[in-house]
Structure 1
Amino acid sequence: MSTPSIPNQRAVLDRRVLAASIADAVAEAGAQAARPRIVELLRGALEDGRTELARRFAERPTKGYEVVHGHAFLIDQLIRVLHDHVIADLYPAPNRSKGERLTLIAVGGYGRGEMAPFSDIDIAFITPGKTTPWCEQVIEALLYYLWDLGLKVGHSSRSLDEMVRMAKADLTIRTAILEGRYLWGDQKLYDEASRRFWEDVVPGSEAQFVSEKLAERNARHKRMGDSRYVVEPNVKDGKGGLRDLQTLYWIGKYIHRVRDAAELVDVGLLTQREYRSFRRAEQFLLAVRSHLHTITRRAEDRLTFDLQREVARRMQFADRTGKSAVERFMQYYFLQAQHVGNVTGVFLAHIDEQMGQRKRPKGLLASFRSRPRMFKGYRIVGGRICAPGDEWFQQDPIRLIEIFQIAEEEGLEIHPETMRMARRDAELIREDTRRDPRANTLFLKLLTGRRDPETVLRWMNEAGVFGRFVPDFGKVNAQMQFDMYHHYTVDEHTIRAIGLLAQIERGELKDDHPLATELLPQLGNRTVLYVATLLHDIAKGRGGDHSILGAEVAMKLCPRLGMSEDETEMVAWLVRWHLLMSATAFKRDLSDPKTITDFVSQVQTLERLRQLVMLTIVDIRAVGPGIWNSWKRQLLGELYELSEERMRLGHKRHGRKERIDAKKARVAELLDNDAHLIDELEDRFDDAYWIAEPEDIIALNVPIYAAAKEAEERLTIFAQYYPARGATLVTVIGDDHPGLFYRIAGAISLAGANIIDARIHTTRVGKAVDNFLVQDPLGKPFQEKDQLTRLQTTIEDALAGKIELVPQLAKRPLARPRAESFEVRPTVLFDNKASGRFTVIEVTARDRPALLNKLARTLFECRLMVNSAHITHYGERAVDNFYVTDLLGGKVTAQDRLKEVERALLKAAGEPADAEMA
């Protein structure tokens, strides 16, 4: 295989001119003395070639093949010139022996003639037998020249026999040689190496090669997140990336000896249409990878948030209504990754069949092969459902829905040839099919299937049938959300959420989701929940509030699906308010009766409450790994229980005194032998403390407070793992004074922790009792003894004035450096209706170290008292909610006062540079 023709090659590198310049340098100074000059000539040629290729790439930024072939050509020419110089000038051997022969083989991606701008150069040096001193000298000289040019070279030096022996034993070596291309040197020796590989290594090992390659691919996918829809994909090694396409080529070449991907059509592994899809995806992915290398000037293959925007710009994607350029670029990326998955599935099925035919038993054993059976007109063979003929779907497009529904209900795979037909015929689904009652009934049965709707809906989506049958879902197919919170595309997130519902219903997630497992069987209508889960994000990317727009979609789609008026209204309500429960649980003070009153007045019925908690749980869990945690589980459970109790028992179960007495009784049970402390400290804790804190935290606070009182300690700091919420509880008891909260917040940040919840109290004798729930930057609790000690010591030193908080906090690195890629405009919202006693202030800003400290200090400087703080992170965005009063304990209502506070908070929430300019 040779590298494809490059237009105007001499503009990239003119080998004759370069060779002549080197010859002149040697003639002038001698081969050894001319070395620095030769390196300078080579470096100049390399840089000029790269500049020319970069110019061409900037003009044609989507032509991936052109750029990778161009760089392979450039390196080819350099190495050929170098080789000729080394054997002619440095180590001439006019009468070489048979052993003094050397061939250079380009292997790996370089062997395919594909080289991204900063990829490694992989070369195999092959000798006829044991390496001679002359061969060693030539190889060493070539490598030193390449290293002097700053090139990364992967190389091996082997005899023919060693190459055969090692290729038989090692899959990586076998794959590298499989892609071997004659580069330079002894042509006959290369031909002999190629013959030995195909005659001595390959025969009889085809099945093993395929098996090992697929195992290698599966392990790679697992390592990369096992989804082609992760929002920071690896273009080379990720699922749906270049390596998947290369794996197909390797397998095809190993079994059928194809010389390029086009021949996969000739041997029946791909159709012409699938080959075009292969080429389109590879062209695009090669272009993206080359842009990543060009931007970073290194071998960068991960399409991270900070690079996505720049690659989108270079590839000339533009903003559209509701979708930014980067979101349109990434949607196209995921569509190509999907095409890679489609091609892979069909290809591997054919390989499987071909390998199976080779191993198929003959004679008497042949009768024991799996016999096909018929089911509702379909053939079932070996656990796969097949269309009985090529025109099956054309005769009745409703069968495109039916086959997936049967596959889910019966636990069958869909034969890849049938998937190929479905993909081809998906465009037959038109309005008459969408309106057909039978088609909609089949779709609802699939969506609410009890076996594995997630997997089958994913097949349906990748076949293009899902988006044709539900066009609104087609609009979010492969659509990413450009933020650090969502890990998957909208369609993948939705399908995963449906899968989680099915898992919960099967009882498989009882440990993670005990409340959901208990509630799901109690629902009055499980179909409503599944449809609401399908539609909750369906209006993303349209501009405007996706919850409101999604509810409008539900009102139109649900009747088409055959749902009643009541069911339609319930689905629309759930879609409209699917963020209500998480916003209330994570941003509001659940101990404030007004929080529960407002939430219940919006939800109104127990059925809505149960449906909403189920939808909220799977929505959060399906966002991505690490998003769901025990803190969220606890808060959602608490909100559900308080709301359910309010709905069952009416507006108020008891008066204020009765509620406090009931809580004291429960705390007494938890304290057991220390229950007497409640009476002893009766004069310290006021009613507000008893109402605000959960009983388990009060049971932790009371003994600490009593011990501090007895020891007459001015400051007590206690940190302990708090498993109920998957966090660490930090309790600070000491003399209350203005600014205590922001100083503690700064110290906790300095110790490397994030505050997720905070409650601030002052006892009747002027002592502060402040409780903080903290986690590390990854959302995990501090548990180790040295971690807890560091927290306590840092807070103590900060409050004692031993640490200068402001300069120390300024030195802390950004917890998420890539957050700089996102624009988060700071906002400040005031709500005087959310609480009976407090003004609630919500501040949204880019997450960064010591943000809470800055905001709390600003509130202190604005003469406001913070009663509790509730902190939520959504990737790069932090949303901090404060329950505050003025110094006299009243709400902040005057407009000029609110404006003053807003200006101060916006300045604190802005970027450091913005804050300095303000």
Structure 2
Amino acid sequence: MLSARSKTPTPPETPASAIPNKRAIISRRKLSGELEDLVAEHGTGDKLRPALIACLRKTLAEGRAEVRRRFDDGGSGEQCVRENCYLADRVVGTLADFTVRFIFPTANPTSGEVFDVAATGGYGRGELAPFSDIDLLFLLPYKRTPRVEQVVEYMLYILWDLGLKVGHAVRSVDDCIRQSKADVTIRTAILESRYLWGPGKLFAELRKRYDKEVVAGSGPEFVEAKLAERDNRHLKMGDSRYVLEPNLKDGKGGLRDLQTLFWIAKYLYRVEGVDELVGKKVLTPEEAQRFAKAQNFLWTARCHLHYLTGRLEDRLTFDVQTSIGAAMGYTDHAGTKGVERFMKHYFLVAKDVGDLTRIFCAALEAESKRPPKFNLLRLASVARRKDVDGFIVDGERLNARSDKQFKEQPIDMIRLFHTAQIHDIDIHPAALRSITRSLSAIGPKLRNDPEANRLFLDILTGPKDPEITLRRMNEAGVMARFIPDFGRVVAQMQYDMYHVYTVDEHTLFALGILHKIAAREHADELPLSTEVIHKVVSKRALYVAVLLHDIAKGRGGDHSVLGARVAEKLCPRLGLTAEETETVAWLVRWHLAMSHTAFKRDLEDDKTVRDFVALVQSPERLRLLLVLTVADIRAVGPQRWNNWKATLLRELYNRSEEMMSGGMTVEGRGRRIQSAQSALRAELTDFDDAAFEHHKGLGYPAYWLAFDAETLAHQARIVRDAEREQRPLTVQTRVDRGRAVTEVTIYATDHSGLFSRLAGALAACGADIVDARIFTMTNGMALDVFSVQDAAGGGAFESGDKLAKLSVMIEKVLSGQLKPLNDLSTRRTTQASRTRVFHVPPRVLIDNNASTTHTVIEVNGRDRPGLLYDLTRALSNLTLQISSAKVSTFGEKAIDVFYVKDVFGLKVTHEGKLAKIKERLLSALDDPSGDAPPPATVKRTRTKVTGGEGEGGR
């Protein structure tokens, strides 16, 4: 049999510990015997290598299958990673024995030919996910010898041929010590190293010298480096543990955060397991248990993810969440999907990880005398005082007077955060730990305490940014206990591609944005909101409304209606007046009304504005609703707010304010048109008076209010040049880098179905319509302006070949040389998307009351390439004129609204015709490619199409 070279006993934390029936995974004795038989059969020549690889591959496959079987039968993630690690240990060790004994044998190896093999990284910790890398350290005495190089090279090539991802380093003990001092990554790798194979003397020497020469006296430096490394990683991953497609390993609240905690503790206390931290008084038994539960949950989810995808994958994307949730036993309950329950558990675990890492990394930091990261000048006046509002200042941080303070005086849990906010001082980790242990003291008595509610309301509505303080309170668990309704949305996810954060995280972001608007920090980006918020009288009501606007999500009903009821009960408790309570409840009930009207209705239709004003009723409510709407959208996630949404909301606000003040009349609109035409005249210095008057006669009233003077001038020159050259079709493009879109202006002879054909042409050449406005001029020509992005890259069409292809495609489609349907079918079947995992019930709503002149059709369905083309083609085939449309996309859901008339220019009222419209549109919503979904990179954004007032509606 192959002899085990090691004379050093394996440590108790080796992966072999507590693994039942290890030989069913791999028998080293059996494998050694099989390898010896191969040598006897083939010798050590060229024929041995393929037989060796086949034998090891078979052993690996059988071992992996056994580990997978145990895991699928209900095994834990921790068990799975340890069993995978045990399998890898035995393969590496057996291969090392085989290589030095049979391939490069020597009877009496010199001291320079003796080496050890150690595991590093996660493998060194004894944790190996199904498709993770194996990191090996070949430890040499002082320098490489030819024989050692041959052995290492042979082993690595065999391992690579087995399909294993092997990272390796070949170093002497001196190299390891020197490089550990210079590089914190190598220092961490050595910290986690685990003996695998060899005599063991070099590994023992390395550990001894590492403790003496590297670790000793360098604790503060290591803590500083690892926390900085953690912070940088968080920034790269979005700096939130509540993103809806989290990274299980590197995301905030993931496995790497737990590992950071353990690295620091191990470095400072020289422990080998988390349980030892209890004896060192670093963790309590309850905290150690939370650590173990969180780690096991994350490992279990990660192992499922690896097995499901068949590769090294750490991102919990939408397309795998349902399957993993089901595999982990999460089923649908009344009002809640299994996947949402699974993800809520994940976010609660991530919060636990955040609690542990934040509190205990900070505690270790303080204990290791790490320099504080605070402005000492700002804290000087506070630090001179030992007592601040009933708390003590400990190391420039606010701390409790005693461990019993919060249990004896629960209100101090609220007062602590209030005091920290007022004085801009951080909270001591010991105080946070004490709060965690005292949360049960927050009950009905404290919730109904007027002083406690005053303090909370002051935190929320005072002059200081409430986001930071409320986030601390949420992380500590105080928010959920003090406001149980808020506790219900902590870690509450929404299973869609539009929302980026959990409900509680979104709410806190919104409050932070609201504060920044008030502080004029977003004046350039949000000028109207910045101006309006300083006219608001009910500021307390505004802040409370933002806190409560999504508080009833996940309850199985309309969260706006249910949230208003929560507000009616909670606001008096918080100390709001009856008037403020009514305002908050109204804002929560209608917090989606402004965005719904702006993004789904035609703002040029006076009835749209009249209906909105009838709902809002007062200028104060209009101001409140605008600011709340902007903060809400801005906090949904990156890229959700854009200039076009700002334009629509500003237009609705201005028109509503004008109507409320009695100024929105025909004469008022006429003055606005006259002003727009005067500004245009100033731009068109190359037009004489006759040319300008001719152009002015081409546009219907709505056209002049649709663009700024510069854009109107650009279009005027396009129209003039087309008329001079008598061109039936003009296509011009210009790149708007500020909006990351390409503006496509089309001036063509108007005809039925033009809009549909243009939408099809753009979709067929890989363009996503971000914004479109369609107008019919008085001369029977159509002037259509589309803003598009590249479906594959998400940015503007900038390259010359793409712009040329876009123009050619439009010309070919309009001339009948090309059918967009054919190109769209190819695009649909060759590109894939995560949207296939979402079910969006198709829905068609037809409303004859929303407009005085048009039938309004709202279509909901799953987004895909060419959907707008399919829908508009269906409407055109029904001989309907599309006067205007708005196309919105919320993640995977498309919501398209069309203003249409029949062939006679009237509303559609015939029941049979209405039924036919619904039938055809539902058919158009079906994905022609079946399960083949649209591309994952396609981002449909809200699109508005504003129709002109001419006869040629499309």
| Pairwise TM-score range, normalised by the shorter structure | over 0.9
| Alpha-carbon distance, 1:371 to partner | 4.8
Check the 8 A contact 1:423/1:463 in 2, yes or no. Answer: yes
Residue 358 and residue 704 in structure 1: after superposition, are their counterparts in 2 closer, same or farther (change >3 A)? closer
Q: Quick one: distance in 1 between partners of 2:603 and 2:277?
A: 62
3-state SS, counterpart of residue 771 of structure 2: strand
What residue is the counterpart of 1:796 in the other structure?
811
Residue 232 and residue 737 in structure 1: after superposition, are their counterparts in 2 closer, same or farther (change >3 A)? same
Could you tell me which of 11, 18, 29 is aligned with 1:5?
18
What residue is the counterpart of 1:412 in the other structure?
425
Whether 1:818 aligns to 2:834 is: yes
| Alpha-carbon distance, 1:694 to partner | 6.8
3-state SS, counterpart of residue 798 of structure 1: helix
Could you tell me which of 399, 422, 425 is aligned with 2:412?
399
What residue is the counterpart of 1:808 in the other structure?
823
Check the 8 A contact 2:604/2:702 in 1, yes or no. Answer: no
Check the 8 A contact 2:113/2:145 in 1, yes or no. Answer: yes
| Alpha-carbon distance, 1:668 to partner | 3.6
1:622-664 Cα deviation digits (max 9, x unpaired): 0111111111111111111111111112563528766655654
Check the 8 A contact 2:318/2:834 in 1, yes or no. Answer: yes
Whether 1:219 aligns to 2:232 is: yes
Residue 461 and residue 241 in structure 1: after superposition, are their counterparts in 2 closer, same or farther (change >3 A)? same
What residue is the counterpart of 1:760 in the other structure?
774
3-state SS, counterpart of residue 512 of structure 1: coil
What residue is the counterpart of 1:835 in the other structure?
851
Residue 784 and residue 893 in structure 1: after superposition, are their counterparts in 2 closer, same or farther (change >3 A)? same
| Alpha-carbon distance, 1:151 to partner | 0.5
**Residue type at the aligned position of 1:306:** D
Residue 519 and residue 79 in structure 1: after superposition, are their counterparts in 2 closer, same or farther (change >3 A)? same
3-state SS, counterpart of residue 578 of structure 1: coil
Residue 897 and residue 696 in structure 1: after superposition, are their counterparts in 2 closer, same or farther (change >3 A)? farther
Whether 1:80 aligns to 2:93 is: yes
Superposed, which structure 2 residues align to 1:157-306 within 5 Å? 157-306=170-319
Superposed, which structure 2 residues align to 1:480-519 within 5 Å? 480-519=493-532
**Residue type at the aligned position of 2:731:** I
Residue 11 and residue 725 in structure 1: after superposition, are their counterparts in 2 closer, same or farther (change >3 A)? closer
After TM superposition, the structure 1 stretch with the greater mean CA deviation from structure 2, 748-757 or 736-745, is: 748-757
Check the 8 A contact 2:224/2:370 in 1, yes or no. Answer: no
Check the 8 A contact 1:86/1:142 in 2, yes or no. Answer: yes
**Residue type at the aligned position of 2:642:** N
What residue is the counterpart of 2:762 in the other structure?
748
3-state SS, counterpart of residue 751 of structure 2: coil
**Residue type at the aligned position of 1:149:** L
Residue 692 and residue 238 in structure 1: after superposition, are their counterparts in 2 closer, same or farther (change >3 A)? closer
Check the 8 A contact 1:476/1:491 in 2, yes or no. Answer: yes
3-state SS, counterpart of residue 912 of structure 1: coil
Unpaired runs of 5+ residues, structure 2, are: 1-10, 373-379, 933-954
Superposed, which structure 2 residues align to 1:531-680 within 5 Å? 531-649=544-662, 652=665, 654=667, 661=674, 663-671=676-684, 674=687, 676-680=690-694
3-state SS, counterpart of residue 772 of structure 1: strand
3-state SS, counterpart of residue 661 of structure 2: helix
Unpaired runs of 5+ residues, structure 1, are: 360-366
3-state SS, counterpart of residue 501 of structure 2: coil
**Residue type at the aligned position of 2:479:** F
Whether 1:770 aligns to 2:784 is: yes
What do you get for the CA RMSD once the two structures are aligned?
2.4
**Residue type at the aligned position of 1:712:** Q
| Alpha-carbon distance, 1:914 to partner | 5.2
| Alpha-carbon distance, 1:721 to partner | 4.5
1:601-621 Cα deviation digits (max 9, x unpaired): 111110110000000000000
| Alpha-carbon distance, 1:815 to partner | 7.9
Q: Quick one: distance in 2 between partners of 1:22 and 1:725?
A: 65
What residue is the counterpart of 1:730 in the other structure?
744
| Alpha-carbon distance, 1:698 to partner | 4.2
Q: Quick one: distance in 2 between partners of 1:735 and 1:583?
A: 33
Whether 1:421 aligns to 2:434 is: yes
What residue is the counterpart of 1:364 in the other structure?
none
Could you tell me which of 513, 517, 520 is aligned with 2:533?
520
1:377-407 Cα deviation digits (max 9, x unpaired): 1112344211111111111211111111221
Q: Quick one: distance in 2 between partners of 1:144 and 1:185?
A: 19
What residue is the counterpart of 2:878 in the other structure?
862
3-state SS, counterpart of residue 299 of structure 1: coil
| Alpha-carbon distance, 1:484 to partner | 1.0
Whether 1:900 aligns to 2:909 is: no
After TM superposition, the structure 1 stretch with the greater mean CA deviation from structure 2, 405-414 or 462-471, is: 405-414
Whether 1:349 aligns to 2:390 is: no
| Alpha-carbon distance, 1:28 to partner | 2.0
Q: Quick one: distance in 2 between partners of 1:495 and 1:220?
A: 22
| Alpha-carbon distance, 1:693 to partner | 6.6
Q: Quick one: distance in 1 between partners of 2:796 and 2:588?
A: 33
**Residue type at the aligned position of 1:67:** C
1:830-862 Cα deviation digits (max 9, x unpaired): 121222221111111212111111111111111
3-state SS, counterpart of residue 522 of structure 1: coil
TM-score normalized with structure 2 length: 0.91
Whether 1:314 aligns to 2:348 is: no
Check the 8 A contact 1:231/1:486 in 2, yes or no. Answer: yes
What residue is the counterpart of 1:43 in the other structure?
57
Q: Quick one: distance in 2 between partners of 1:478 and 1:156?
A: 42
3-state SS, counterpart of residue 230 of structure 1: coil
In the alignment of these two chains, the number of paired residues is: 908
Whether 1:853 aligns to 2:869 is: yes
| Alpha-carbon distance, 1:215 to partner | 1.6
Check the 8 A contact 2:383/2:396 in 1, yes or no. Answer: no
Whether 1:155 aligns to 2:168 is: yes
Q: Quick one: distance in 1 between partners of 2:50 and 2:696?
A: 87
1:334-365 Cα deviation digits (max 9, x unpaired): 11111111111221222222222999xxxxxx
What residue is the counterpart of 1:363 in the other structure?
none
Q: Quick one: distance in 1 between partners of 2:94 and 2:780?
A: 84
Check the 8 A contact 2:382/2:388 in 1, yes or no. Answer: no
Check the 8 A contact 1:845/1:909 in 2, yes or no. Answer: yes
3-state SS, counterpart of residue 18 of structure 2: coil
3-state SS, counterpart of residue 356 of structure 1: coil
1:169-225 Cα deviation digits (max 9, x unpaired): 222111111111111112222212222222232223322222221221111111111
What residue is the counterpart of 1:362 in the other structure?
none
Residue 610 and residue 93 in structure 1: after superposition, are their counterparts in 2 closer, same or farther (change >3 A)? same
| Alpha-carbon distance, 1:49 to partner | 1.1
**Residue type at the aligned position of 1:78:** V
1:859-913 Cα deviation digits (max 9, x unpaired): 1111111112211111111211111111111111212111111111111111224
1:803-843 Cα deviation digits (max 9, x unpaired): 44222222226888212221112211112122222111111
Residue 370 and residue 579 in structure 1: after superposition, are their counterparts in 2 closer, same or farther (change >3 A)? closer
**Residue type at the aligned position of 1:883:** Y
3-state SS, counterpart of residue 551 of structure 2: coil
**Residue type at the aligned position of 2:315:** R
Q: Quick one: distance in 2 between partners of 1:383 and 1:511?
A: 36
**Residue type at the aligned position of 1:40:** A
| Alpha-carbon distance, 1:678 to partner | 4.4
Quick one: percent identity of the two aligned structures? Answer: 48
Check the 8 A contact 2:844/2:921 in 1, yes or no. Answer: yes
1:116-138 Cα deviation digits (max 9, x unpaired): 00100011011112122221222
Residue 99 and residue 368 in structure 1: after superposition, are their counterparts in 2 closer, same or farther (change >3 A)? farther
Residue 597 and residue 196 in structure 1: after superposition, are their counterparts in 2 closer, same or farther (change >3 A)? same
**Residue type at the aligned position of 1:136:** E
Q: Quick one: distance in 2 between partners of 1:122 and 1:251?
A: 21
Q: Quick one: distance in 2 between partners of 1:463 and 1:215?
A: 22
| Alpha-carbon distance, 1:156 to partner | 1.0
Residue 578 and residue 514 in structure 1: after superposition, are their counterparts in 2 closer, same or farther (change >3 A)? same
What residue is the counterpart of 1:719 in the other structure?
733
TM-score normalized with structure 1 length: 0.95
Could you tell me which of 681, 697, 701 is aligned with 2:715?
701
1:36-70 Cα deviation digits (max 9, x unpaired): 22222211111111111111111225x22101101
